[in-house]
Amino acid sequence: MTGNEQKYIAQAFESNWIAPMGENVNQFETEVAAYATTNAAAALSSGTAAIHLALQLLGVGKGDRVFCSSLTFVASANPILYAGAEPVFIDSEEETWNMSPWALQKAFAAAEQEGKLPKAVIIVHIYGQSARMDELIALCSHYGVPIIEDAAESLGSTYKGRKTGSLGTFGIFSFNGNKIITTSGGGMLVSNDRRSIAKARFLASQAKDEAPYYEHSRVGYNYRMSNVLAGIGRAQLEAIELRVGARRDVYNRYFTAIGSHPAVKFQPELEGTRSNRWLSVMLLDPEKTERSPDQLREWLESENIESRRVWKPLHLQPLFAGCKFYSHNAHGKTAVSEKLFEQGLCLPSGSDLEPIKQERIIHLIEEILK
């Protein structure tokens, strides 16, 4: 917390608007839209809800197909299942760890052959690093398929000077407790299309028709953000640039200390992009060290330091068994996302990680890699 949250929470209590509507919700939407440089925003109960509504607004329904990055948290793809649609997973490429334009091209070509193009493509900016948007947008435009940017982890990151979340038809942010700013739980759907955002608010409040009584013509959801939590979000958003700076400092300290170790590589920052470095993530090259990411994780754990494995790609998850997957690499070669999963480790990256504590972490990593 920044210290200013109480001010906005107090305003919610003073006005007696504790409902999922009120001044904080309206202001938080305006402020996030302005920050993300989009025309409009809808404050929601989670990032997952935002993805679900984006799919609804794009008309994704039963039997439709949706392409999605494979290297991501399950929340990126769960809403595809809520919609009764078919997820198709796309591999990563080495320079951003995000959706490979080469694999996406293969997936589009195969879908076109089958006569079944996807209704949407969900592009994730993993760990805060933006994907190769120019190439991905060009492909999606060619096939006429809209993009949902899952910017849950990348608030504050830029691609060629433009904010992630503002580059697709829809963008989504998450304010879950683990994200760079938080409302404890919450999310935001952003778009330049004001009418779609108005419709998202309608769907998120049980789809009540204009009538003097309760009338409903279509299925709705209870997905709005509470006015109290929006107050937390307003104070948090004021601190976003400080948070990005702090996370980048954390990354730079890791990189300076261990980035030149022959077995160690960090997530690259593609030229022309700026990552918020939500998490500092390293790879251990199995040809240059006998230590595995799990050994390193356990070693840190024994010192009461938490680290975590890189997301297990969704095409390897039991939940998505049988779903199609398009690799960046030729048949028979390990997919890029699988390699990142096998070799990657997310290091402690909190905005409030003190340099002296981080030195201890670095020292332990150096010890085990000796």
Ligand X SMILES: *Cc1c(COP(=O)(O)O)cnc(C)c1O
> Where along the sequence are the contacts to ligand X (CB under 6 A)?
46-48, 72-73, 75-76, 124, 150, 152-153, 174, 176, 187
Minimum distance between the CB of residue 104 and ligand X, rounded to whole angstroms?
Answer: 18
> 75 or 365: whose CB is closer to ligand X?
75
Minimum distance between the CB of residue 181 and ligand X, rounded to whole angstroms?
Answer: 12
User: Could you tell me how far CA 262 lies from the centroid of its own chain?
Assistant: 30
> 237 or 264: whose CB is closer to ligand X?
237
> 68 or 111: whose CB is closer to ligand X?
68
Residue number, nearest CB to ligand X: 47
DSSP 3-state of 190:
strand
C-alpha–C-alpha distance, residues 106 and 85, integer Å: 20
User: Could you tell me how far CA 236 lies from the centroid of its own chain?
Assistant: 18
Minimum distance between the CB of residue 2 and ligand X, rounded to whole angstroms?
Answer: 20
Distance spanning both ends of the chain, measured CA to CA: 38
C-beta of residue 325 within 8 angstroms of C-beta of residue 269: no
Can you list the alpha helix ranges (DSSP code H) found in the chain? 5-15, 23-36, 47-57, 78-82, 101-114, 133-143, 194-204, 227-238, 240-258, 293-301, 336-343, 355-369
> 8 or 175: whose CB is closer to ligand X?
175
> 22 or 187: whose CB is closer to ligand X?
187
> 73 or 97: whose CB is closer to ligand X?
73
The pair of structure tokens assigned to 102 is 């080469």
DSSP 43: E
C-alpha–C-alpha distance, residues 45 and 130, integer Å: 24
Minimum distance between the CB of residue 77 and ligand X, rounded to whole angstroms?
Answer: 9
* DSSP H helix total and E strand total for the chain: 12, 15
> 27 or 76: whose CB is closer to ligand X?
76
Contacts of 160 (CB under 8 A, 6+ apart): 133, 134, 272, 273
Minimum distance between the CB of residue 187 and ligand X, rounded to whole angstroms?
Answer: 5
DSSP 20: S
Minimum distance between the CB of residue 359 and ligand X, rounded to whole angstroms?
Answer: 28
Minimum distance between the CB of residue 369 and ligand X, rounded to whole angstroms?
Answer: 28
The pair of structure tokens assigned to 215 is 């009338």
DSSP 49-98: HHHHHHHHHTT--TT-EEEEESSS-GGGTHHHHHTT-EEEEE-B-TTTSS
Minimum distance between the CB of residue 69 and ligand X, rounded to whole angstroms?
Answer: 8
> 121 or 124: whose CB is closer to ligand X?
124
Minimum distance between the CB of residue 127 and ligand X, rounded to whole angstroms?
Answer: 9
Question: Which CA distances in Å does 200 have to 58, 126, 184, 341?
Answer: 11, 25, 22, 35
Residue found under tokens 């919700």: 25
Minimum distance between the CB of residue 84 and ligand X, rounded to whole angstroms?
Answer: 20
Measured in degrees and rounded to the nearest 5, phi and psi for residue 356 equal: -70, -35
> 258 or 345: whose CB is closer to ligand X?
345
Half-sphere exposure of 256 (CA within 13 A, CB side): 9
> 224 or 264: whose CB is closer to ligand X?
224
C-alpha–C-alpha distance, residues 337 and 93, integer Å: 8
